[in-house]
């Protein structure tokens, strides 16, 4: 199941949330100060499988792979629902398509 991270716009606190449905509203309030947050994608949150890199933060539930491939044409998912990432440029491209901000 993918883990999503949210960064607080006010205090910078990062909150992790498990989410099955990638289509749910991205809004989540900061657990520390109650401020607005923005969904982010972590730089390090990838798995190396058979020499290919897969993103955890941009993953989907395996049952939603077909739907996700329709929503984001050209995206490749493995059987665990993780999104294949070719390189850093590709990761930023995929994150932007999903309305995510990369965490520095």
Measure the CA–CA gap between 100 and 59, rounded to whole angstroms. Answer: 13
Stretch in the footprint of Zn ion (CB under 5 A) among 2-10, 51-59, 74-82, 83-91 = 2-10
Q: Pick from 1, 16, 24, 35: which binds Zn ion (CB under 5 A)?
A: 35
Of 4 and 54, which CB lies nearer to Zn ion in the complex structure? 4
Closest approach, Cβ 9 to Zn ion, in A, equals 8
Question: In what order do the strands lie in the sheet containing 83-85?
Answer: 46-49, 52-55, 83-85
Binding status of residue 33 toward Zn ion by CB under 5 A: yes
Q: How, if at all, do strands 101-102 and 37-41 pair?
A: parallel
Positive or negative torsion for Cα 54, 43, 9, 72: negative
By CB under 5 A, name the binding residues for Zn ion.
8, 10-11, 13, 30, 32-33, 35
């Amino acid at each position: 199941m993918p883990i999503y991270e949210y960064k607080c716009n006010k205090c910078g606190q990062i909150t992790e949330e498990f989410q099955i449905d990638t289509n749910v509203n991205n809004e989540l309030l900061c657990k520390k100060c109650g401020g607005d947050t923005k969904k982010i994608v972590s730089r390090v949150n990838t798995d190396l499988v058979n020499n290919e890199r897969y993103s955890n933060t941009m993953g989907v539930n395996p049952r939603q792979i077909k739907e996700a491939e329709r929503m984001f044409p050209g995206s490749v998912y493995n059987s665990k629902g993780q999104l294949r990432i070719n390189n850093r440029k590709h990761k930023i491209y995929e994150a932007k398509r999903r309305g995510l901000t990369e965490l520095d």
